[in-house]
Amino acid sequence: MEFPTLKTGRLILRQARAADLSRLVDYANSYEVASMLSGMAHPFTQEDGNSFIHRGNTNDPEKVVLWVIDDGSGLIGSTWMKLDGETGWVGFWIGKPHWGKGHMSEALQAALSYAFDERGISRFSAGVFHDNPASFRVLEKLGFSQTGENLIPSKGRGGTMVPHILMELPKAAFLCSTSQAKEIA
């Protein structure tokens, strides 16, 4: 399967490139970013960045898609999804200079639309740390609802167990939330 490149009004979701390394390390090495993810180390080194790029380019896109979010200036963040039959898991992060600009909502809407429309996914799961209200709002805006809570380790916090909110998004809820957003705009 060919890697799916997606375009929105302001963004391109594309495969990672070696040229992304410097900005990737710069943005991902922020404690404010890494501490909100379960699998991102802090400090985030060039070796971590090379591994991230390699993984993004060698995953089987039938099962895992790792997109770089590019606003035309280069990498500003990333979103990824794991796909298994009709279900999927989505994760994301964005560099601190790009917070609060709506880029992540726009990127996730494109990625979820792709998965629901092109890949036959019927339900997505996601998770967000309890102390990350901005990411919770992004997911909620797209139609995700809370289904539970647990504790998971955060590499960015040195393996500390962190309260984690579990969320789900059925396709019908996504279609409803995105049609309402279009009506408001």
User: Which pTM was predicted?
Assistant: 0.94
Instruction: Provide long-range contacts, Cβ within 8 A and 24+ apart, for 81-84.
Output: 81/111, 81/115, 81/124, 83/115, 83/119, 83/121
Residue 61 has pLDDT above 90, yes or no: yes
Number of domains in the chain: 1
Residue 50: inside a domain: yes
Residue 24 has pLDDT above 80, yes or no: yes
Give the pair of three-digit tokens for residue 97. 């200079």
How is the chain split among helix, strand and coil, in percent rounded to 5?
Answer: 40, 30, 30
On the 0-12 / 13-18 / 19+ scale of CB atoms within 10 A, 178 is: middle
Residue 55: inside a domain: yes
Residue 36: inside a domain: yes
Q: Report pLDDT digits (tens) over 106-126.
A: 999 999 999 999 999 999 999
Residue 124: inside a domain: yes
Closest Cα partner for 126 from 110, 108, 113?
108
Residue 41: inside a domain: yes
Omega of the bond leading into 43 within 30 degrees of 0 (cis) = yes
Q: Which residue has the higher pLDDT, 179 or 96?
A: 96
Task: Report the C-alpha gap between 97 and 100 in whole angstroms.
Answer: 9
Domain membership of residue 69 as a residue range: 6-184
Q: Report pLDDT digits (tens) over 125-156.
A: 999 999 999 999 999 999 999 999 999 999 99
Residue 182 has pLDDT above 60, yes or no: no
Task: Report the C-alpha gap between 129 and 49 in whole angstroms.
Answer: 23
Residue 185 has pLDDT above 90, yes or no: no
Helix, strand or coil, per DSSP, at residue 40:
coil
Residue 1: inside a domain: no
- For residue 70, give the CATH number of its domain: 3.40.630.30
